[in-house]
């Protein structure tokens, strides 16, 4: 079980998009342990519908192949959502996809599998940033 790394007064929402349910579960676990409301999407279309219905505080988006299918989800997130920490994950790192992800607003570009410790660090940075914004 993840060590408690922050507290908050309202429910934070995270979008997790990946076409692999095991990867979604792996990424969701640390967020759920911290009380986030986790929205899990296995298709681009379901992620886009979810983005249209909800405002998210953080997002984890799978790159897909080197064709970067996840780019559609990111663009939709940028269009419909306030700026949020955005983590892009990839089976294998690709310099061109990394540059595109960063240009689209990604704050992290990580190779899968992303360790629980790394997700915990991202959550802690999110809490730290949220705390700064409230001051």
What are 10-51's pLDDT values in tens digits? Answer: 589 999 999 999 999 999 999 999 999 999 999 999 999 999
**129, part of any domain:** yes
User: Please, what's the b/e burial string for 15-54 (b: 16 or more CB within 10 A of its CB; e: otherwise)?
Assistant: bbbbeeeebbebbbebbebbebebbbbbebeebbebbeee
Q: What is the pTM for the complete model shown? A: 0.86
Between CA 56 and CA 77 the distance in angstroms is 9
82 pLDDT band, cuts 50/70/90, is confident
CATH number of 77's domain: 3.40.50.2300
Helix (H, G, I), strand (E, B) or coil at 90: strand
**95, part of any domain:** yes
| Average pLDDT estimate for 99-105 | 94
Residue 109 CA, chain-centre distance (Å), reads 10
**pLDDT > 90 fraction of the chain, expressed in percent and rounded:** 69
Report the chain's mean pLDDT, rounded to a whole number.
Answer: 88
Q: Which domain holds residue 123?
A: 13-134
pLDDT value for 3: 36
Q: How many domains does the chain have?
A: 1
**29, part of any domain:** yes
Strand blocks (E) in the chain? 13-17, 37-41, 58-62, 86-90, 108-111
**42, part of any domain:** yes
**47, part of any domain:** yes
**4, part of any domain:** no
**6, part of any domain:** no
What are 45-60's pLDDT values in tens digits? Answer: 999 999 999 999 999 9
pLDDT value for 134: 65
**5, part of any domain:** no
133 pLDDT band, cuts 50/70/90, is low
Whether residue 56 contacts residue 39, with contact meaning beta carbons closer than 8 Å, is answered with yes
């Amino acid at each position: 079980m993840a060590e408690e790394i922050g507290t908050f007064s309202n429910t934070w929402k995270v979008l997790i998009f990946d076409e692999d349910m095991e990867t979604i579960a792996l990424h969701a676990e640390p967020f759920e342990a911290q009380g986030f409301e986790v929205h899990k999407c296995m298709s681009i279309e379901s992620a886009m519908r979810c983005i249209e219905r909800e405002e998210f505080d953080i997002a984890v988006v799978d790159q897909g192949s080197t064709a970067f299918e996840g780019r559609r989800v990111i663009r939709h997130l940028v269009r419909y959502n306030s700026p949020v920490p955005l983590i892009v994950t990839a089976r294998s790192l690709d310099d061109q996809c990394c540059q595109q992800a960063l240009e689209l607003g990604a704050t992290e570009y990580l190779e899968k599998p992303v360790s629980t410790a790394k997700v915990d660090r991202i959550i802690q940075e999110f809490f730290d940033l949220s705390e700064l914004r409230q001051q």
